[in-house]
Amino acid sequence: MTAETPTGPLGGHLDDDDYPAYTMGRAAAMLGTTQGFLRAIGDARLITPLRSEGGHRRYSRYQLRIAARARELVDQGTPIESACRIVILEDQLEEAQRLNAAYRDAAGSANPPAAT
């Protein structure tokens, strides 16, 4: 087996954070939570698991990281709906900061300071 011709059930998805590799039961076990918690954050639209051909929920590593952050907030006493909103806003802020930094870098390289 080589990197160019991946085989096995995951095909070449071992490094793909967005690949829905985890069943609901496995995801809940990894997070140390219940399947009901995963359903609740899905209902709150924090994450939307993909569905297998049989209709079962499947979660990616990225989704599990988001769910873990929501669980931290819930464990601290934050209501689940509020925890989901906080995580969404944190994610949006991080993305906005990343874009701003990219725009600043692009603007800086387009207009180098004049030599004196």
Summarize pLDDT for 46-74 with one digit per residue, the tens: 999 999 889 999 999 999 999 999 999 99
Reported pTM: 0.74
pLDDT at 7: 53
Q: Please state whether beta strands 50-51 and 22-23 pair in parallel, antiparallel, or not at all (unpaired).
A: unpaired
pLDDT at 66: 95
pLDDT at 11: 58
What distances in angstroms separate CA 22 from CA 10, 18, 103, one per listed residue? 11, 11, 36
| Cβ-contact 57, 25 below 8 angstroms | no
Average pLDDT of the residues in 9-31: 82
Query: Which residue shows structure tokens 């011709």?
Result: 5
